[in-house]
Amino acid sequence: RERMKNLSIHRPIIYGNVASVLTPKQREQLAATAPDHTHTWTVAVRSAATAADQDPESTMVGGADDLGYFIKRVTFKLHETYANPVRNIDRPPFEVTETGWGEFEIQIKITFVADAAEKPITFYHHLKLHPWPAPGEPEIPPLDVAVKLGPVHSWQYDELVFNEPFNTFLDTLTKH
C-alpha cells in the first residue's frame, strides 16, 4: 500500500450531548443509589453526512450508525465522580447515556481502524445540562422550569481530516 500524495479527505462529524430532567418515576428508581441525580444525558459522536437524510420530525442530531466502517473505538472520559469513568465504545452508536447532577468536560478520543494507520483524534465537549438562562433569570433554572423548556442540546460540527491517506484506507472511505 502507498500514501496518496497531495490528497486529503475529510469526514464530517457531530459530537455533543442532549440532556433532560429526570421524570418523577426515574428519580424514584434512583432514590436509593443516586438521590442527588437530576438529569439524564447522552453524549455521542455521530455522522454529519447522514444527518440530512433524517426524518425531519426526529429530534436526534446526526446519523447514529454510519461511522463504524472507519472508526474502531470512541473513548469517552467522564468526570471521576462516575464509576468506571473511561467508557470504551467499540461499535455504533458511539454514545454513552448516564444520569447525574453536574456539568463537566468530557474527553472524546476517536481511534481509527488499524488499516487507516492514523493517530487517534481527541475532542473535548462541555456536557451541558442547563438551558441558557433568559436575561435576569438564575443561571440554573428550577427543575420545574427546566422540564417545561424541554431537552437541552449542545452539539458541535467538526471534520476528521486525513492527509495523504494510504490508498487502502482511501478505498475504505470512498467505497462505503
**Residue number with CB closer to ligand SLL (72 or 77):** 77
Per CB under 6 A, which of residues 61..80 are in contact with ligand SLL? Answer: 79
Residue 107 φ/ψ, nearest 5 degrees? -90, 130
Give all strands (DSSP E) within the chain, no chain letters.
8-21, 39-47, 71-77, 86-89, 94-100, 105-112, 121-126, 152-163
Q: Counting contacts by CB under 6 A, is residue 138 touching ligand SLL?
A: no
The CA distance from 135 to 26, in Å, is 31
Write down the least CB distance from residue 146 to ligand SLL, Å: 15
Place of cell 459522536: 45
Q: Counting contacts by CB under 6 A, is residue 34 touching ligand SLL?
A: yes
Q: Counting contacts by CB under 6 A, is residue 124 touching ligand SLL?
A: no
**Residue number with CB closer to ligand SLL (47 or 99):** 99
Q: Counting contacts by CB under 6 A, is residue 81 touching ligand SLL?
A: yes
Per CB under 6 A, which of residues 85..114 are in contact with ligand SLL? Answer: 100-104
**Nearest one of 15, 128, 109 to 62, comparing CA atoms:** 15
Residues that bind ligand SLL (CB under 6 A): 34, 79, 81-82, 100-104
